[in-house]
Amino acid sequence: MIALVALFTALTAISNAVNPAKPAPASHVAQSAAAKPTPKKTQAPKAAVPKHTTAPAKAAPAVTHAPASPAPAATTPAAPTMLSQTDIVAFTVSGSGLPSIQYGNGATTNNPSDGSGPPADGNYRPCTRP
């Protein structure tokens, strides 16, 4: 009897050793089931984070562009620019009589003809003759 009991115990132990392999799949399933939600939870926040980051990133430039566009519109009309410039020296003579005229700038000296001409070129303006 004792040998039978020992044999039964040994078989039971063996069957228990084999059975844990059967429930193991159950635990694996449980673990896999638990492992599946875990990646789902981790993927969900990962997917949500980029969505949140992209959303404000897109909104931020829109907000910055909106105030940036009215600013140049306000400054553009208030800034006139110089297109060109002319700089001349005019010699004028006026009065009465028939003066003899010379004018120049050190490098050139001009003697206008005895007669009236463009006033700014040193020619005398028509004067009242004595």
Partner 1 sequence: MTYDPNALYYAVSAQLEGSGSISDTVTEQVTTQCSNGTHAESFPLANGSADGGYGIAQAEYSNLGSGTGNAAQAEQDAGC
Q: Return the number of the residue (50 or 99) whose C-beta is nearest partner 1.
A: 99
Round to whole Å and give the CA distance between 100 and 68. Answer: 66
Q: Is 113 in the site for partner 1 (CB under 8 A)?
A: no
Q: Is 117 in the site for partner 1 (CB under 8 A)?
A: no
The owner of tokens 């694996």 is 28
Q: Is 96 in the site for partner 1 (CB under 8 A)?
A: yes
Interface pick for partner 1 out of 56, 67, 70, 97 (rule CB under 8 A): 97
Instruction: Give the number of residues in contact with partner 1, rule: CB under 8 A.
Output: 34
Q: Return the number of the residue (45 or 97) whose C-beta is nearest partner 1.
A: 97
Q: Which amino acid is at 96?
A: S
**How near is the Cβ of 122 to partner 1 at its closest, in Å?**
6
At how many degrees (to 10) do helices 23-35 and 37-68 cross? 10
* DSSP state letters, 35-77: HTHHHHHHHHHHHHHHHHHHHHHHHHHHHHHHHHTHHHHHHGG
Residues that bind partner 1 (CB under 8 A): 80-108, 120, 122, 124, 127, 130
